[in-house]
Structure 1
């Protein structure tokens, strides 16, 4: 479905990913959102190396981290002995039956869909995976901010 950039598939680059993408204010936001929504089951679509996924599992939440990049999941699986975390290699087609209270797409995940059909399919799959009253939360980076210069 989505073509993966080299920094998501090259194991040498994946090893450096968490150094450049450490937990921060966005992590706090998603953990607070999960708490505020009393979300017990969370799907982290595009979980990458699983930093946020593991943070969300604290407090007994069941969290599923889904990512299409096997190298990212190798890193994600390393420190996790948490029973609440399940790691899945895949994309929105692998979200499963309606069971999630919250689906998240952080970082640039929502920007990898190159055409309207991919975006519509992804949103449909997310809608199908959410329980009635469930929530989708995602972010989009503003290229005009030029964050790479800061």
Structure 2
């Protein structure tokens, strides 16, 4: 199943157990608080952890995701009523609406082709007001993150809320240039076995800067870790981008 952690209800439950509040969420909330941003977009919101926190901090939040099962889980959470949930993708974004937009959880990596990536960035620019901020994270390819996606490195037991245990592991299916395909395996106590597949496109700092510029953004900062370290100087192995929506050129 493609991106099963967001599309299959049982894998959504596993995803939520594994992805609790972390340093990255603290980082994004601090960035959001640095400038006035009444209207916020959370693009690729998943099960809504960050969107609900941003709404709880007083922002008007629109959270968008193509996966219905993930949104169903998000809507059941405490505080979810304060968020506008929308099932859709980049094509469904309203224009000139948001003061800040977030693509977290390495959403950017799952936009594989250059054409789709360019289209996504242009639509994010269209959704932002001039001087609005786009914040996104992607793993730094210089750190070769896929090296850690082998069964021996990823095998783990996940304890669900009812006490049952899911055995999980991952493996790289293929590597082509800067695209890595991975398969995640899940074996439940009741004998159910599910797999989830994904492809990751790893863009370096130059590629990110160039593509953002073409889409109408000015890069303000790129960090390599959640402590705001420069790229390459953190064990986090991230490229965390804060970009500013430039004024649109008149025809």
Q: Shared fold by TM > 0.5?
A: yes
Deviation at 1:147, TM superposition (A): 5.9
User: 1:48-71, CA deviations, whole angstroms, 9 ceiling, x for partnerless residues?
Assistant: 000000011123210011000000
Q: Gaps (5+ residues) in structure 1? A: none
**Is 77-86 or 30-39 further displaced after alignment?**
77-86
Q: How many aligned positions are there?
A: 148
Q: 1:46 to 1:147 in 2, by over 3 A?
A: farther
Q: TM-score, normalised by structure 2?
A: 0.55
Q: Gaps (5+ residues) in structure 2? A: 155-251
For 1:89 and 1:110, locate their aligned partners in 2 and report how far apart those are by CA, in whole Å.
18
For 2:46 and 2:104, locate their aligned partners in 1 and report how far apart those are by CA, in whole Å.
10
| Residue matched to 1:118 | 116
| Residue matched to 1:136 | 134
User: 1:82-130, CA deviations, whole angstroms, 9 ceiling, x for partnerless residues?
Assistant: 5541000011111212111111111120011110000000001000000
Structure showing the higher strand proportion among its residues: 2
- RMSD across aligned C-alpha pairs, in angstroms? 1.9
Deviation at 1:12, TM superposition (A): 0.5
For 2:107 and 2:101, locate their aligned partners in 1 and report how far apart those are by CA, in whole Å.
12
Q: TM-score, normalised by structure 1?
A: 0.90
Task: Report which structure shows greater RCO (CA 8 Å, sep ≥6).
Answer: 1
**Is 81-90 or 128-137 further displaced after alignment?**
81-90
Runs of 4+ residues over 3 Å off in structure 1: 80-84, 145-150
Structure showing the higher helix proportion among its residues: 1
Q: 1:65 to 1:80 in 2, by over 3 A?
A: farther
| Residue matched to 1:28 | 26
The structure with the largest alpha-carbon Rg is 2
